[in-house]
Amino acid sequence: MMQILIGYMGSGKSTVGKVLAKNNNLMFIDFDDYIVEKENLSIPEIFKLKGEIYFRRKETEYLTELLSQKPEAVISLGGGTPCFGNNMEVVLEATPNVFYLKLSVDKLEERLQKEKAQRPLIKDIADKELSEFIRKHLFERNFYYLKSHHIISVANETPEEIATKISEKLA
């Protein structure tokens, strides 16, 4: 069974995905790590050396490759992955188990403030402008995120509690 987690950066896809995979005796695949392995460069290095357009093209190529293998796994996608090309359609066709981890802007800002240096899209945004950036970005991306089969609203639950919510909805 393949389960795919999507959501904005900082929504907990990787953390929850690891718990979900363990609970269901599945492999865990962090799609960003998959790209890093294929490209032999970190995500920030790819953005810096080759640009976002190159990254998005390769992301689509690798997504199609990975999903065509139909791995028995929990896969956490990058925050932007569903929002480019026909990626969301490819994801929705691959499995009936696509989950959007939905957090409030305030919660995302709180989490991302601590991780800015490791996030290419926000590393140069001033702290006082982060909330506005997230709001605008989320508004643009929600069109894709909301196509998910399941929307999991996340507030202050632990990764284990979120994984339980997801397991209860598995097709």
pLDDT digits (tens, 9 = 90+) for 70-94: 999 999 999 999 999 999 999 999 9
**Residue 10 annotated in ligand binding:** yes
Residue 71: the pLDDT is 95
Would you call 154 helix, strand, or coil by DSSP?
coil
Residue 95: the pLDDT is 95
**Residue 32 annotated in ligand binding:** yes
**Residue 17 annotated in ligand binding:** no
**Residue 51 annotated in ligand binding:** no
**Residue 95 annotated in ligand binding:** no
**Residue 167 annotated in ligand binding:** no
- pLDDT tens column, 5-36: 999 999 999 999 999 999 999 999 999 999 99
**Residue 111 annotated in ligand binding:** no
Residue 159: the pLDDT is 95
- The crossing angle, in degrees rounded to 10, of helices 105-113 and 130-145 is 120
**Residue 12 annotated in ligand binding:** yes
Residue 52: the pLDDT is 87
Q: Which region among 52-66, 101-115, 120-134, 148-162 has the lowest average model confidence (pLDDT)?
A: 120-134
Contact assessment for residue 101 and residue 11, using Cβ atoms and an 8 Å cutoff: yes
Residue 171: the pLDDT is 57
- pLDDT tens column, 45-69: 998 899 989 999 999 999 999 999 9
Residue 115: the pLDDT is 80
Residue 81 sits at φ, ψ, to 5 deg, of -50, -50
Tell me the C-alpha distance between 17 and 29, whole Å.
8
User: What mean pLDDT is predicted for residues 129-153?
Assistant: 94
- Confidence tier at 136 by pLDDT (50, 70, 90): very high
**Residue 158 annotated in ligand binding:** no
User: What mean pLDDT is predicted for residues 111-133?
Assistant: 83
**Which domain, by its residues, includes 61?**
3-167
41: left (phi over 0), alpha (psi -120 to 50) or beta: beta
Contact assessment for residue 12 and residue 76, using Cβ atoms and an 8 Å cutoff: no
Can you list the alpha helix ranges (DSSP code H) found in 7-155?
13-23, 31-39, 43-68, 87-94, 105-113, 130-145
The number of distinct structural domains making up the chain is 1
**Residue 14 annotated in ligand binding:** yes
**Residue 58 annotated in ligand binding:** no
CATH code of residue 125:
3.40.50.300
Q: Which residues contact 157 (CB under 8 A, 6 or more apart)?
A: 165
The tokens describing 27, both together, are 């492999």
β-pairing, 27-30 vs 3-6, is unpaired
